[in-house]
Amino acid sequence: MKKKVLVLFLLILLIPFNVHAETIAQKRKDIANLKAKYQAQQNAKKNAQNNISSDKQSIKNKESEINSNQQKLTDAENESAELTKEIADGKKEISNIMEAYQVAQGDNVYLEYVFEATSYEDLVYRYAVMEQVMSYMKDKINGYEDKIKKNDELIVYIKDRKVELDNQINSLNDEIDGLYDDIKSYDKYANDIASDIRDAEGFLQYMVNMGCKETEELNACQARVNSTNNYGWIKPLVKGKVTSYFANRISPITGKPEFHSGTDIGGNPEGTPVYAIASGTVCKIVRKSSCGGNQVYVCSYVNGKKYTTCYMHLLAINVSLYQTVYTSTAVGTVGGGKGTSGWETCSTGAHLHLGLGTGWYGSDYTTYTQWKAHLIDARTTIGMPARGVWWYSR
Ligand SMILES: [Zn+2]
Protein backbone atom coordinates (compact mmCIF):
# COMPACT_ATOMS: atom_id res chain seq x y z
CA MET A 1 0.00 0.00 0.00
CA LYS A 2 2.75 2.43 1.01
CA LYS A 3 4.75 1.51 -2.08
CA LYS A 4 1.83 2.37 -4.35
CA VAL A 5 1.53 5.82 -2.77
CA LEU A 6 5.27 6.39 -3.19
CA VAL A 7 5.15 5.36 -6.86
CA LEU A 8 2.22 7.69 -7.48
CA PHE A 9 4.08 10.52 -5.74
CA LEU A 10 7.17 9.93 -7.89
CA LEU A 11 5.01 9.83 -11.01
CA ILE A 12 3.54 13.22 -10.12
CA LEU A 13 7.07 14.58 -9.65
CA LEU A 14 8.09 13.23 -13.03
CA ILE A 15 5.21 14.83 -14.93
CA PRO A 16 6.78 17.95 -16.45
CA PHE A 17 5.26 21.27 -15.41
CA ASN A 18 3.03 22.74 -18.07
CA VAL A 19 5.24 25.62 -19.19
CA HIS A 20 3.12 28.26 -20.86
CA ALA A 21 4.54 28.82 -24.29
CA GLU A 22 3.59 32.35 -25.26
CA THR A 23 1.83 31.76 -28.54
CA ILE A 24 -1.32 33.22 -30.01
CA ALA A 25 -2.96 29.78 -29.77
CA GLN A 26 -2.05 29.50 -26.08
CA LYS A 27 -3.29 33.04 -25.40
CA ARG A 28 -6.61 32.18 -27.02
CA LYS A 29 -6.86 29.08 -24.81
CA ASP A 30 -5.94 31.15 -21.73
CA ILE A 31 -8.60 33.70 -22.59
CA ALA A 32 -11.24 30.99 -23.11
CA ASN A 33 -10.32 29.45 -19.73
CA LEU A 34 -10.44 32.82 -18.02
CA LYS A 35 -13.82 33.57 -19.55
CA ALA A 36 -15.15 30.22 -18.33
CA LYS A 37 -13.83 31.01 -14.84
CA TYR A 38 -15.42 34.46 -15.02
CA GLN A 39 -18.75 32.91 -16.03
CA ALA A 40 -18.50 30.44 -13.15
CA GLN A 41 -18.06 33.35 -10.73
CA GLN A 42 -21.05 35.13 -12.26
CA ASN A 43 -23.15 31.96 -11.92
CA ALA A 44 -22.09 31.49 -8.31
CA LYS A 45 -23.00 35.11 -7.64
CA LYS A 46 -26.41 34.63 -9.25
CA ASN A 47 -27.04 31.53 -7.14
CA ALA A 48 -26.10 33.44 -4.00
CA GLN A 49 -28.46 36.26 -5.02
CA ASN A 50 -31.29 33.76 -5.61
CA ASN A 51 -30.63 32.19 -2.21
CA ILE A 52 -30.74 35.63 -0.59
CA SER A 53 -34.11 36.34 -2.25
CA SER A 54 -35.58 33.04 -1.13
CA ASP A 55 -34.19 33.49 2.41
CA LYS A 56 -35.71 36.96 2.54
CA GLN A 57 -39.07 35.58 1.38
CA SER A 58 -38.84 32.89 4.01
CA ILE A 59 -38.14 35.51 6.71
CA LYS A 60 -41.15 37.52 5.49
CA ASN A 61 -43.38 34.43 5.77
CA LYS A 62 -42.15 33.68 9.28
CA GLU A 63 -42.65 37.31 10.33
CA SER A 64 -46.20 37.30 9.02
CA GLU A 65 -46.85 34.03 10.88
CA ILE A 66 -45.51 35.68 14.07
CA ASN A 67 -47.79 38.67 13.49
CA SER A 68 -50.91 36.61 12.89
CA ASN A 69 -50.02 34.42 15.92
CA GLN A 70 -49.67 37.57 17.99
CA GLN A 71 -53.27 38.48 17.05
CA LYS A 72 -54.46 34.96 17.99
CA LEU A 73 -52.59 35.25 21.29
CA THR A 74 -54.27 38.55 22.14
CA ASP A 75 -57.69 37.13 21.17
CA ALA A 76 -57.16 34.02 23.32
CA GLU A 77 -56.01 36.08 26.31
CA ASN A 78 -59.00 38.43 26.01
CA GLU A 79 -61.43 35.55 25.64
CA SER A 80 -59.96 33.77 28.68
CA ALA A 81 -60.23 36.94 30.76
CA GLU A 82 -63.88 37.33 29.76
CA LEU A 83 -64.66 33.67 30.47
CA THR A 84 -62.92 33.85 33.85
CA LYS A 85 -65.16 36.77 34.74
CA GLU A 86 -68.29 34.94 33.56
CA ILE A 87 -67.29 31.85 35.53
CA ALA A 88 -66.88 33.96 38.65
CA ASP A 89 -70.34 35.50 38.05
CA GLY A 90 -71.90 32.07 37.43
CA LYS A 91 -70.32 30.62 40.58
CA LYS A 92 -71.60 33.50 42.61
CA GLU A 93 -75.08 32.92 41.18
CA ILE A 94 -74.97 29.22 42.09
CA SER A 95 -73.84 29.99 45.60
CA ASN A 96 -76.74 32.46 45.90
CA ILE A 97 -79.16 29.71 44.89
CA MET A 98 -77.54 27.25 47.32
CA GLU A 99 -77.83 29.76 50.14
CA ALA A 100 -81.48 30.34 49.27
CA TYR A 101 -82.26 26.69 50.08
CA GLN A 102 -80.72 27.01 53.48
CA VAL A 103 -81.74 30.49 54.57
CA ALA A 104 -85.39 31.56 54.53
CA GLN A 105 -85.39 35.20 53.74
CA GLY A 106 -88.32 37.04 52.31
CA ASP A 107 -86.36 39.07 49.86
CA ASN A 108 -84.72 36.01 48.22
CA VAL A 109 -86.05 35.66 44.72
CA TYR A 110 -85.36 31.89 44.43
CA LEU A 111 -86.95 31.17 47.77
CA GLU A 112 -90.01 33.21 46.90
CA TYR A 113 -90.27 31.35 43.63
CA VAL A 114 -90.21 27.96 45.39
CA PHE A 115 -92.51 28.90 48.32
CA GLU A 116 -95.07 30.58 46.15
CA ALA A 117 -96.04 27.11 44.98
CA THR A 118 -99.78 26.63 45.04
CA SER A 119 -99.80 22.87 45.46
CA TYR A 120 -97.45 20.03 46.28
CA GLU A 121 -97.09 19.21 42.55
CA ASP A 122 -96.34 22.82 41.85
CA LEU A 123 -93.71 22.82 44.62
CA VAL A 124 -92.00 19.74 43.16
CA TYR A 125 -92.20 21.26 39.71
CA ARG A 126 -90.68 24.58 40.89
CA TYR A 127 -87.95 22.74 42.78
CA ALA A 128 -87.07 20.78 39.59
CA VAL A 129 -86.89 24.00 37.59
CA MET A 130 -84.45 25.42 40.15
CA GLU A 131 -82.32 22.29 39.87
CA GLN A 132 -82.32 22.57 36.09
CA VAL A 133 -81.19 26.19 36.30
CA MET A 134 -78.31 25.15 38.54
CA SER A 135 -77.32 22.22 36.38
CA TYR A 136 -77.43 24.42 33.27
CA MET A 137 -75.15 26.94 34.96
CA LYS A 138 -72.70 24.23 36.09
CA ASP A 139 -72.50 22.87 32.51
CA LYS A 140 -71.90 26.34 31.19
CA ILE A 141 -69.07 26.88 33.69
CA ASN A 142 -67.50 23.54 32.74
CA GLY A 143 -67.66 24.57 29.08
CA TYR A 144 -65.96 27.87 29.90
CA GLU A 145 -63.25 26.09 31.87
CA ASP A 146 -62.55 23.75 28.93
CA LYS A 147 -62.30 26.71 26.62
CA ILE A 148 -59.84 28.46 28.98
CA LYS A 149 -57.75 25.30 29.14
CA LYS A 150 -57.64 25.20 25.33
CA ASN A 151 -56.70 28.89 25.22
CA ASP A 152 -53.88 28.26 27.71
CA GLU A 153 -52.57 25.47 25.49
CA LEU A 154 -52.78 27.74 22.43
CA ILE A 155 -50.94 30.52 24.30
CA VAL A 156 -48.11 28.14 25.26
CA TYR A 157 -47.93 26.86 21.68
CA ILE A 158 -47.81 30.40 20.22
CA LYS A 159 -45.09 31.47 22.67
CA ASP A 160 -42.99 28.37 21.90
CA ARG A 161 -43.58 28.83 18.19
CA LYS A 162 -42.41 32.44 18.40
CA VAL A 163 -39.11 31.37 19.98
CA GLU A 164 -38.74 28.76 17.27
CA LEU A 165 -39.53 31.24 14.44
CA ASP A 166 -37.22 33.90 15.94
CA ASN A 167 -34.39 31.36 15.97
CA GLN A 168 -35.10 30.41 12.37
CA ILE A 169 -35.15 34.08 11.33
CA ASN A 170 -31.83 34.66 13.11
CA SER A 171 -30.16 31.78 11.32
CA LEU A 172 -31.62 32.93 7.97
CA ASN A 173 -30.20 36.40 8.61
CA ASP A 174 -26.81 34.84 9.41
CA GLU A 175 -27.06 32.86 6.19
CA ILE A 176 -27.87 36.06 4.24
CA ASP A 177 -24.83 37.83 5.79
CA GLY A 178 -22.67 34.90 4.71
CA LEU A 179 -24.14 35.01 1.19
CA TYR A 180 -23.39 38.74 0.91
CA ASP A 181 -19.79 38.00 1.94
CA ASP A 182 -19.69 35.26 -0.70
CA ILE A 183 -20.95 37.70 -3.34
CA LYS A 184 -18.22 40.17 -2.36
CA SER A 185 -15.55 37.54 -2.86
CA TYR A 186 -17.14 36.36 -6.15
CA ASP A 187 -17.09 39.98 -7.34
CA LYS A 188 -13.50 40.49 -6.26
CA TYR A 189 -12.37 37.29 -7.95
CA ALA A 190 -14.40 38.13 -11.09
CA ASN A 191 -12.75 41.58 -11.20
CA ASP A 192 -9.31 39.98 -10.95
CA ILE A 193 -10.24 37.58 -13.76
CA ALA A 194 -11.64 40.43 -15.87
CA SER A 195 -8.35 42.27 -15.49
CA ASP A 196 -6.43 39.09 -16.42
CA ILE A 197 -8.69 38.78 -19.49
CA ARG A 198 -7.95 42.38 -20.52
CA ASP A 199 -4.22 41.76 -20.09
CA ALA A 200 -4.34 38.52 -22.06
CA GLU A 201 -6.47 40.09 -24.82
CA GLY A 202 -4.09 43.05 -25.02
CA PHE A 203 -1.15 40.74 -25.27
CA LEU A 204 -2.91 38.64 -27.89
CA GLN A 205 -3.63 41.79 -29.88
CA TYR A 206 0.00 42.78 -29.58
CA MET A 207 1.14 39.43 -31.00
CA VAL A 208 -1.45 39.57 -33.77
CA ASN A 209 -0.35 43.11 -34.64
CA MET A 210 3.27 42.03 -34.73
CA GLY A 211 2.32 39.39 -37.28
CA CYS A 212 3.12 36.37 -35.10
CA LYS A 213 1.92 33.00 -36.39
CA GLU A 214 -0.72 31.06 -34.46
CA THR A 215 1.70 28.64 -32.76
CA GLU A 216 4.90 30.68 -33.05
CA GLU A 217 6.57 31.26 -29.68
CA LEU A 218 6.75 34.94 -28.70
CA ASN A 219 10.55 35.23 -28.56
CA ALA A 220 10.91 33.56 -31.96
CA CYS A 221 8.19 35.83 -33.36
CA GLN A 222 9.83 38.94 -31.96
CA ALA A 223 13.23 37.91 -33.34
CA ARG A 224 11.72 37.19 -36.75
CA VAL A 225 9.68 40.40 -36.88
CA ASN A 226 12.61 42.42 -35.62
CA SER A 227 14.89 41.05 -38.31
CA THR A 228 12.47 42.02 -41.06
CA ASN A 229 11.25 45.37 -39.71
CA ASN A 230 13.45 48.34 -39.22
CA TYR A 231 12.18 49.39 -35.82
CA GLY A 232 14.14 52.29 -34.37
CA TRP A 233 13.91 55.49 -32.37
CA ILE A 234 12.67 58.83 -33.65
CA LYS A 235 11.92 62.13 -31.89
CA PRO A 236 8.40 62.69 -30.51
CA LEU A 237 8.01 66.24 -31.87
CA VAL A 238 8.73 67.75 -35.25
CA LYS A 239 10.56 70.63 -33.61
CA GLY A 240 11.56 71.47 -30.08
CA LYS A 241 14.35 71.63 -27.54
CA VAL A 242 15.21 69.79 -24.36
CA THR A 243 14.49 71.98 -21.36
CA SER A 244 15.16 69.58 -18.48
CA TYR A 245 17.31 66.45 -18.27
CA PHE A 246 16.66 63.01 -16.83
CA ALA A 247 18.78 63.88 -13.76
CA ASN A 248 18.83 65.38 -10.28
CA ARG A 249 17.49 68.92 -10.30
CA ILE A 250 15.74 71.55 -8.20
CA SER A 251 12.00 71.03 -8.66
CA PRO A 252 10.33 74.00 -10.39
CA ILE A 253 7.20 73.22 -8.35
CA THR A 254 8.52 72.65 -4.81
CA GLY A 255 11.94 74.39 -5.04
CA LYS A 256 13.48 71.30 -3.45
CA PRO A 257 15.99 68.80 -4.92
CA GLU A 258 14.37 65.87 -6.76
CA PHE A 259 15.17 63.30 -9.39
CA HIS A 260 13.54 64.27 -12.67
CA SER A 261 12.32 60.98 -14.12
CA GLY A 262 12.15 61.98 -17.78
CA THR A 263 13.26 64.41 -20.45
CA ASP A 264 11.24 67.63 -20.81
CA ILE A 265 10.82 69.03 -24.31
CA GLY A 266 9.61 72.59 -24.75
CA GLY A 267 9.17 75.04 -27.60
CA ASN A 268 5.72 73.88 -28.70
CA PRO A 269 2.33 75.35 -27.86
CA GLU A 270 -0.39 73.21 -26.32
CA GLY A 271 -2.19 71.14 -28.94
CA THR A 272 0.96 70.28 -30.95
CA PRO A 273 0.88 66.59 -32.04
CA VAL A 274 3.09 64.23 -30.02
CA TYR A 275 4.27 61.17 -31.97
CA ALA A 276 5.34 57.75 -30.76
CA ILE A 277 9.13 57.49 -30.66
CA ALA A 278 8.95 53.82 -31.69
CA SER A 279 6.30 51.50 -33.10
CA GLY A 280 4.50 49.39 -30.54
CA THR A 281 1.29 48.83 -28.62
CA VAL A 282 -0.40 51.23 -26.22
CA CYS A 283 0.00 49.28 -22.98
CA LYS A 284 -1.27 51.77 -20.40
CA ILE A 285 -3.29 54.97 -20.32
CA VAL A 286 -3.69 57.31 -17.34
CA ARG A 287 -6.20 60.13 -17.51
CA LYS A 288 -6.09 63.47 -15.70
CA SER A 289 -3.71 62.47 -12.92
CA SER A 290 -3.09 65.45 -10.63
CA CYS A 291 0.64 64.97 -11.21
CA GLY A 292 1.43 63.85 -14.76
CA GLY A 293 -2.01 64.56 -16.21
CA ASN A 294 -3.00 62.56 -19.28
CA GLN A 295 -0.40 59.86 -19.93
CA VAL A 296 0.13 57.34 -22.72
CA TYR A 297 2.49 54.38 -22.35
CA VAL A 298 3.66 52.48 -25.44
CA CYS A 299 5.30 49.05 -25.24
CA SER A 300 7.83 48.62 -28.04
CA TYR A 301 10.44 46.23 -29.24
CA VAL A 302 13.51 48.12 -30.41
CA ASN A 303 16.78 46.59 -31.62
CA GLY A 304 15.99 43.30 -29.95
CA LYS A 305 14.96 44.74 -26.60
CA LYS A 306 11.70 45.57 -24.86
CA TYR A 307 11.00 49.18 -23.91
CA THR A 308 8.12 51.25 -22.58
CA THR A 309 7.86 54.88 -23.59
CA CYS A 310 5.71 57.37 -21.75
CA TYR A 311 4.21 60.71 -22.83
CA MET A 312 3.00 62.93 -19.98
CA HIS A 313 1.01 66.15 -19.41
CA LEU A 314 -0.93 65.59 -22.66
CA LEU A 315 -3.74 67.98 -23.48
CA ALA A 316 -5.54 65.21 -25.40
CA ILE A 317 -5.08 61.47 -25.77
CA ASN A 318 -5.59 60.28 -29.36
CA VAL A 319 -5.10 56.52 -28.94
CA SER A 320 -6.84 53.72 -27.08
CA LEU A 321 -5.50 50.93 -24.92
CA TYR A 322 -3.77 48.12 -26.87
CA GLN A 323 -3.92 50.07 -30.10
CA THR A 324 -0.97 49.51 -32.39
CA VAL A 325 0.98 52.70 -32.95
CA TYR A 326 3.67 53.58 -35.43
CA THR A 327 6.20 56.40 -35.38
CA SER A 328 3.73 58.25 -37.60
CA THR A 329 0.97 57.96 -34.98
CA ALA A 330 0.16 61.05 -32.91
CA VAL A 331 -0.56 59.50 -29.50
CA GLY A 332 -1.79 62.84 -28.18
CA THR A 333 -1.06 66.56 -28.06
CA VAL A 334 1.20 68.77 -25.96
CA GLY A 335 -0.34 70.02 -22.71
CA GLY A 336 1.02 71.10 -19.35
CA GLY A 337 -0.07 74.72 -19.61
CA LYS A 338 -3.40 76.51 -19.24
CA GLY A 339 -5.28 73.78 -21.09
CA THR A 340 -4.48 71.12 -18.49
CA SER A 341 -4.40 73.37 -15.41
CA GLY A 342 -7.89 72.16 -14.49
CA TRP A 343 -6.41 68.86 -13.24
CA GLU A 344 -2.61 69.23 -13.39
CA THR A 345 -0.56 70.63 -10.53
CA CYS A 346 2.87 69.28 -11.55
CA SER A 347 3.56 71.34 -14.66
CA THR A 348 4.59 74.98 -14.99
CA GLY A 349 3.92 75.42 -18.72
CA ALA A 350 3.34 73.72 -22.06
CA HIS A 351 5.88 70.89 -22.55
CA LEU A 352 6.17 67.18 -23.15
CA HIS A 353 7.63 64.98 -20.44
CA LEU A 354 9.08 61.96 -22.23
CA GLY A 355 9.78 58.89 -20.11
CA LEU A 356 11.64 55.79 -21.25
CA GLY A 357 11.95 52.52 -19.38
CA THR A 358 13.22 49.03 -20.16
CA GLY A 359 10.77 46.12 -20.21
CA TRP A 360 7.03 46.34 -20.72
CA TYR A 361 4.85 48.19 -18.24
CA GLY A 362 1.76 46.07 -17.72
CA SER A 363 3.32 42.68 -18.42
CA ASP A 364 6.95 42.61 -17.21
CA TYR A 365 5.93 44.76 -14.23
CA THR A 366 2.71 46.41 -13.15
CA THR A 367 3.35 49.12 -10.55
CA TYR A 368 4.47 52.71 -10.93
CA THR A 369 7.34 52.09 -8.48
CA GLN A 370 8.57 49.20 -10.66
CA TRP A 371 8.24 51.39 -13.75
CA LYS A 372 10.38 54.09 -12.08
CA ALA A 373 13.05 51.49 -11.28
CA HIS A 374 13.25 50.64 -15.01
CA LEU A 375 13.71 54.22 -16.25
CA ILE A 376 16.66 55.20 -18.44
CA ASP A 377 17.67 58.45 -20.13
CA ALA A 378 15.49 59.01 -23.21
CA ARG A 379 17.61 61.90 -24.56
CA THR A 380 20.84 59.92 -24.88
CA THR A 381 19.03 56.71 -25.91
CA ILE A 382 17.10 58.14 -28.84
CA GLY A 383 19.64 60.88 -29.65
CA MET A 384 18.17 64.31 -28.89
CA PRO A 385 20.45 67.39 -28.79
CA ALA A 386 21.73 68.92 -25.55
CA ARG A 387 19.57 71.22 -23.47
CA GLY A 388 18.50 74.40 -25.25
CA VAL A 389 19.52 73.26 -28.75
CA TRP A 390 16.60 73.37 -31.19
CA TRP A 391 15.77 70.72 -33.78
CA TYR A 392 13.45 71.21 -36.73
CA SER A 393 12.83 67.70 -38.01
CA ARG A 394 12.19 64.38 -36.36
ZN1 LIG B 1 9.26 66.43 -16.70
| Pair (184, 235) in one structural domain | no
| Pair (174, 79) in one structural domain | yes
The dihedral sign for the CA sequence 303, 308, 313, 314: positive
| Pair (199, 242) in one structural domain | no
Q: How far is the CA of 131 from the centre of ligand 1 (A)?
A: 116
| Pair (127, 199) in one structural domain | yes
Q: How far is the CA of 284 from the centre of ligand 1 (A)?
A: 18
283: CB partners within 8 A, 6+ apart: 202, 206, 297, 298, 299, 308, 321, 322, 360, 361, 362, 363
- On the question of pLDDT at 15 being above 50, the answer is no
Domain boundary among 146, 171, 205: 205
Rg (CA), the chain: 46
Q: How far is the CA of 276 from the centre of ligand 1 (A)?
A: 17
9 lies in a domain? Answer: no
Q: How far is the CA of 206 from the centre of ligand 1 (A)?
A: 28
Please compute the mean of the pLDDT values over residues 352-357 and round it to a whole number.
Answer: 98
Q: Are 11 and 191 in contact (CB under 8 A)?
A: no
Residues within 5 Å of ion ligand 1, judged at the Cβ atom:
262, 264, 353
Runs of H (alpha helix) within the chain: 2-14, 24-102, 109-115, 120-210, 218-228, 368-373, 378-382
Please compute the mean of the pLDDT values over residues 30-45 and round it to a whole number.
Answer: 96
For residue 96, what pLDDT is reported?
80
For residue 231, what pLDDT is reported?
58
pTM over 0.85: no
Q: For the stretch 265-292, what's the b/e string if a residue is b when 16 or more beta carbons lie within 10 angstroms of its beta carbon?
A: bbbbebebbbbbbbbbbbbbbbeeeeeb
φ and ψ at 290, to 5 degrees?
A: -65, -25
Residue 312's identity, in one-letter code, is: M
Q: How far is the CA of 61 from the centre of ligand 1 (A)?
A: 66
| Pair (48, 112) in one structural domain | yes
φ and ψ at 245, to 5 degrees?
A: -85, 165
Give the residue numbers spanning the domain of 325.
230-382
* Domain count across the chain: 2
More confident position, 356 or 219: 356
Please compute the mean of the pLDDT values over residues 221-249 and round it to a whole number.
Answer: 82
117 lies in a domain? Answer: yes
Q: How far is the CA of 354 from the centre of ligand 1 (A)?
A: 7
Q: Alpha carbon of 297 to those of 30, 128, 210: distances in Å?
A: 25, 114, 18
| Pair (201, 239) in one structural domain | no
194: CB partners within 8 A, 6+ apart: 38
Q: How far is the CA of 264 from the centre of ligand 1 (A)?
A: 5
| Pair (239, 113) in one structural domain | no
192 lies in a domain? Answer: yes
| Pair (234, 201) in one structural domain | no
CA distance linking residue 38 with residue 381, whole number of Å: 42
Residue 19's identity, in one-letter code, is: V
211 lies in a domain? Answer: no
17 lies in a domain? Answer: no
221 lies in a domain? Answer: no
Q: How far is the CA of 130 from the centre of ligand 1 (A)?
A: 117
For residue 2, what pLDDT is reported?
54
More confident position, 278 or 94: 278
| Pair (173, 234) in one structural domain | no
Q: Are 218 and 23 in contact (CB under 8 A)?
A: yes
Q: How far is the CA of 258 from the centre of ligand 1 (A)?
A: 11
Q: How far is the CA of 357 from the centre of ligand 1 (A)?
A: 14
Q: Give the model confidence (pLDDT) of 334-343 as tens digits.
A: 999 999 999 9
214 lies in a domain? Answer: no
Give the CATH number for residue 300: 2.70.70.10
Q: Give the model confidence (pLDDT) of 127-136 as tens digits.
A: 788 888 888 8
| Pair (64, 185) in one structural domain | yes
Please compute the mean of the pLDDT values over residues 170-188 and round it to a whole number.
Answer: 97
CA distance linking residue 288 with residue 344, whole number of Å: 7
- On the question of pLDDT at 272 being above 60, the answer is yes
Q: How far is the CA of 250 from the centre of ligand 1 (A)?
A: 12
Q: How far is the CA of 372 from the centre of ligand 1 (A)?
A: 13
Q: How far is the CA of 114 from the centre of ligand 1 (A)?
A: 123
Q: How far is the CA of 355 from the centre of ligand 1 (A)?
A: 8
317 lies in a domain? Answer: yes
